[in-house]
Amino acid sequence: MTDDPLYDPDCRRCARLAGFLRAVRVRHPEYWARPVPSFGCARPRILILGLAPGLHGANRTGRPFTGDHAGILLYRTLHEAGLASRAVSLTRDDGLRLRNSRIVNAVKCVPPQNKPTGAEIRSCNRFLRAELEQLTQVRVVLALGRIAHEAFVQARGLKKSGFPFGHGREHALAEGRTLIDSYHCSRYNTSTGRLTESMFRSVVARAVALANG
């Protein structure tokens, strides 16, 4: 069961990703190993946009940012901000719920080496565009990383040059909405200090303030 009305578990639009998923299912038959649906509130004011499922994270569990390192900081911060019912996300059925927020990925299938191609991002962008059109109450979009940022810009038909990515940068959108950028909460960014817990906490708090304002 999923709360994502646009979810297509049988999507095979990207041959490379479909082939990779087939191989993963052979090696790990217990894994989800399908496109991963969006997760969270059906009528959110905050949309959190990630890149793609991690091989041993969301691709294993079937829920965005669940079971991998990036999800540790994300869900702990969402819980601190009052957006998640629990600080730790372990499995799809652990009872965790998001409040006033929803998590969506720019690419719904795990890519080899965590690197989707440009063609794969463009192919999956139709799902992001359709979801954005349905989520009419969203006031703030928090893009985790440059690729997620650019996927959102593409989905909204905006000019890339008018929306440069930068951590903490805010972009005014139509109808009083705001796009906020953050470095991705990946292990690489947190271990190198490019993204600290304080930096991430601040950008999430800003998203909450704008959504409530």
Task: Calculate the CA 94 to chain-centre distance.
Answer: 19
Neighbours of 156 (CB within 10 A): 17
* Residue 4, pLDDT score: 76
What pLDDT is attached to residue 6?
A: 76
Instruction: Please indicate, yes or no, if residue 2 is contained in any of the structural domains.
Output: no
The CATH code of the domain that includes 141 is 3.40.470.10
- CA-to-CA dists, residue 4 to 21, 108, 131, 169, angstroms: 20, 12, 9, 29
pLDDT(142) > 70:
yes
Residue 6 resides in a domain: no
| % the chain with pLDDT above 70 | 99
Is residue 9 included in any domain, yes or no? no
Distances (CA, A) of 127 to 36, 154, 164: 12, 12, 23
The answer to the question of residue 66 being in a domain is yes
Residue 21 lies in a domain: yes
* Number of separate domains in the chain: 1
Is the pLDDT confidence value at 1 over 70?
Answer: no
Q: Specify whether the CB–CB gap between 108 and 39 falls below 8 A.
A: no
Structural domain that includes position 59: 15-212
Q: In this predicted structure, what is the pLDDT of residue 109?
A: 97
Amino acid sitting at position 68? D
**213: Cβ–Cβ under 8 A, 6 or more apart, which residues?**
none
User: Binning pLDDT at 50, 70 and 90, where does residue 65 land?
Assistant: very high
* Backbone torsion region of residue 61, taken as left when φ is above 0, otherwise alpha when ψ lies between -120 and 50, otherwise beta: alpha
pLDDT tens profile 161-173 = 999 999 999 999 9
State pLDDT tens for residues 17-43: 999 999 999 999 999 999 999 999 999
> What pLDDT score does 213 carry?
85
Is 4 a member of any domain?
no
